Structures are given as structure tokens and as C-alpha cells.
Amino acid sequence: MKRMITLGLGLLVGASAFAKPDVKLAADAQNKMGWQLFDKTLQVAAEKNHKNVLVSPTSANIALTMAMQGAKGDTLSEIKSALAYEGSSLVEIHQALSQLMVDLEKKPNVEMDEGTSQRLSIANKIWTNKKAFSVEPTFTVLMNQYYQRKVSEEIIKEMDAFNPSAVVAEVNSWVLEKTEGMIADLLNKDSVNKDTQMILVNALYFQAQWLNSYVSVPKFDFTNIDGKKAAVPAITGSHKTSYAKGDGFTVVEMAFRQGSKKSGKGQFAGDMAVGKSNIVLDVIVPDNGVSIGSVMQDLDSKSYDNILAQKSMEEVALTVPKFKIEFKAALKDTLKQMGITSAFDEGLADLSGLGFNRDGYPIVISDVIQKTAMELDEKGLKAAAATAVLVSRVTSIDNSQPVVVNADRPFGVVLRDTASNSILFIGTIGDVL
């Protein structure tokens, strides 16, 4: 029977593979979901007095879409809706997201030194409980087809959930490696227990150098989110770059270099000269008297696209504080607010497409955890994210002068790919002291 199922799926995938994947489908859905995820995470973070917030729509989307393959009925409909994939088949979604991952990783991935540009890597891994869980063959085939990033690395691996500390250590070690040491301790000692049936993980890493030169300044007056003022290290430079003015805020694009600085080689991208990467960092600075929280919560995928459509090339003198931040969030309650309810409910969840517990217990998503990190200095930017979906069995449930933009108060950041319009990270920086 298993051979028949696998063969049948292979014919289905093979037939649909002739259609060109719609990358825009994945990017648009990811951005729409990403702004909603950020907005609700920002609200929760404010209640917990978190000063810096950073989410990765890309990482969350990939991990949840892998899990979505196992959902059926209302559980599938809710996840599709929350991920903004309504009206698309699972095969169309997997094809589009797989191609988006390929396109993002097409940018130069080379060792960073004085003469090179950027690295972007995406990795996926799934651990299953070898003693208690049987994986659905269809799920295995599709994960290998669309989410296995390297042929040499199997995407699905067995774990011994009766030794939870070893599982946590293994998952965290894999994440640490795939994020170049930026994301440590994604899971804690309580994340895994004998009831854990499956862990679906995505890891994302980005590093790049600025296209334009910035100099380090030792002291820059910054007022953090709680009103405290201090002189902090910053970077500054005046360059011709994309600039837009929104209602109560300014957006300045910080470009990354693509190609070799030493050789002068590069790739034409977007509306700028040879050497500019498709990936850019938008710095969102609120006007005086306007909070960054109110600015970011008023934005969504459509309104942000409208702002970017109004951008123009201006000489901008930009000063931004250096920062190094981490953020971690359990997203279960946030995703419930976004409409994913039955997947977490023992009486309603239908995740039978993942497989089944051999003792006959129903399975639910017990939590979704994301951890992110970002570091900015005069050389460039590093960012990383990891998202884990944990599945458990249920036993309990101016044109002549430069425009001066000083990010001297809490500001927002958006790391995005201009080719696909895919947003990799959204965040607010409220404390650099």
C-alpha cells in the first residue's frame, strides 16, 4: 500500500511540476501574514514590556506551511486563511514556496571577507518520535520534494522523545549551526517530552555588507522607548538612496552590496547601479512626537507596498544607532488570534496528514516558537531566525541638500527582497542602550 501511495503522489507532483511556480503567490501571502503576525506580536510584547521586537515572516511561513500539509478539514482551512493562502491548492502553495526559497538563495552565497557580498541560507528539518509515531508516506514525499534544501541532508529524522534533553540539545545544535551561531536555545528543557510526536523546524540566516560606506561614530544621542536618553555608538553616511515619506514617518532604504568589491563585479538589480543586491533594509523613523508602535501597527502589506511605490531617489544623510538584539516568542496565542484555533484543540484538530500515534492518541500542535536575532554596524547587517512547530499527542491539552534622517528614537526595520517583494524580517528597535 505504501508503494502505491508514493507512486501515485509522484505522478501527481510530476504532472503539476510542468506549471511554472507562482512565486508571487508565496511572497504576497507571506507578507500579508507577516504584517498580521508582527502586529499581534507587538501587542503582546508591549504587555510584557519588551523593548525590541523582531519577527521573521519567512521563517514562520515555511515552518507552518510544512505543518499545514498534515492538516485536513477545518484545521486546514484555518491555517490556509491565517497564512493568506485561501483559494490555492496545497501543491500550488508548496511549489510557490519552494521556488521562493530557491530564488532567495540564488543571491551570492559566499564566505564574507573584504571582497565579497552576501549570504542567505534557508534550512528545514523535521524530527519524529521513532517509538510512538508513524509518518504519513505522502507527507514524507512532499517534504522531500519541496523542503529538503540539500540532497545530502535528509529532511526527516527520528528522535527519542523519551530522552527529551537529548532531543532539545540536538535541535538547538542544528539551529545554532544553520544560523551561524546567532540563534541559541530555540527550545528549552520543557519544550519536549514523551508526548512530543513531531518537531518541524525552519532556520534562516542572512549576512551582507552595505553597498555604500558608513562611518562609525562613538556618540549619538538616542532616546529609547521608555524615555531614557544616552549617547550610543552609531553609523552615519550621506548617499543617494530610495526615500519615502508616509503619514507620520520616513522610510530610508539601506542597500547591500552584491558581487566583489575588489574586482568591481556585480549584478544589476532594481533601479540602481551594478553592485546592488535585491535585498535591502528599510529603516522606518517616526516623526517627532509619533511612537514607532503606532506607526507599525497602522501598516499592513497593502499600505506598505503603497508607501514603497512612492519612493524616490534622494540624497539622504542617515544616522542609525548600532544594535544587537534578540527576540523570542511563543506564537500559540498569537496564531489563535489570527484564526488558527482547531489545530491547538484536542477535540477539533485534524492533523492526520502528518501521520498517526501508534497508541491511538489524537495529535495537536502544542506550540509554535520563534527566535530571531539582528546585528547592525558600519560594515553591514546580520540576521537570523528559527521557528519550531511542536506536534504532541493529547494526554492533556529637500533636492539641493541631503535629507537628514536621524534614527534618534525608537524606529522600525524591514528586511526585504525587492525581486520577489518578500519580507524576511519586520522589527522595532526601542532600546540600544
Residues 202 and 217 in one domain: no
Q: Using the predicted structure, report yes or no on whether residue 390 has a pLDDT greater than 90.
A: yes
Total domains, the chain? 2
Any idea what the Cα angle at residue 283 is, between residues 30 and 276, rounded to 5°?
A: 80
Dump pLDDT digits (tens) for 168-180: 999 999 999 999 9
Asked whether residue 59 is assigned to any structural domain, the reply reads yes
pLDDT at 259: 60
| Residue 54 one-letter amino acid | L
Q: Could you tell me if 235 and 215 are in contact, meaning their C-beta atoms sit under 8 angstroms apart?
A: yes
Asked if residue 350 is part of any domain, the answer here is yes
What pLDDT band is residue 276 in, cutting at 50, 70 and 90?
confident
Residues 89 and 138 in one domain: yes
74 & 139 share domain: yes
Instruction: For residue 132, tell me if it sits in a domain.
Output: yes
The model's pLDDT over 20-52, given as tens digits with 9 standing for 90+, comes to: 789 999 999 999 999 999 999 999 998 888 899
Q: Identify the DSSP state of 131.
A: T
According to the model, what pLDDT value does residue 152 have?
75
Non-local CB neighbours of 25 within 8 Å, separated by 6+ positions: 85, 88, 92, 93, 96
Question: Is the predicted pLDDT of residue 5 greater than 70, yes or no?
Answer: no
Q: How does pLDDT run across 56-114, given as a tens digit for each residue?
A: 999 999 999 999 999 999 999 999 999 999 999 999 999 999 999 999 987 554 444 44
- Residue 308 pLDDT exceeds 90: yes
CA 55 to chain centre: 6
User: Are 61 and 82 part of one and the same domain?
Assistant: yes
Q: C-alpha cell of 2?
A: 505504501
pLDDT by residue (tens digit) across 249-269? Answer: 999 999 998 764 443 333 333
| H-assigned helices in 147-249 | 164-178
Q: Do residues 381 and 120 make contact, with C-beta atoms less than 8 angstroms apart? A: no
What mean pLDDT value characterizes the chain?
88
Report the C-alpha gap between 295 and 55 in whole angstroms.
16
159 and 295 in a single domain? The answer is no
Q: What CATH number does residue 142 fall under?
A: 3.30.497.10
39 and 163 housed in the same domain: yes
Cα of first residue to Cα of last residue in the chain, in angstroms, is: 61
Q: Nearest-CA neighbor of 56 among 383, 329, 429, 425?
A: 425
Task: Output phi, psi for 99, to 5 deg.
Answer: -70, -35
**pLDDT for position 258:** 79
Distance CA 158, CA 152 (A): 17
Arithmetic mean of pLDDT, 299-317: 94
Which range has the top average pLDDT, 133-142, 257-266, 275-284?
133-142
What average pLDDT does the segment 275-302 reach?
93
Listed range (102-111, 188-197, 281-290, 311-320) with the worst mean pLDDT: 102-111
Q: Which amino acid is residue 351, in one-letter code?
A: L
Domain range for 145: 22-208+325-393
Residue bearing the bigger pLDDT, 135 or 402? 135
Q: Rounded to the nearest 5°, which phi and psi values hold at 423? A: -90, 125
Range scoring the smallest mean pLDDT among 110-114, 166-170, 205-209, 425-429: 110-114
3-state secondary structure of 75: helix
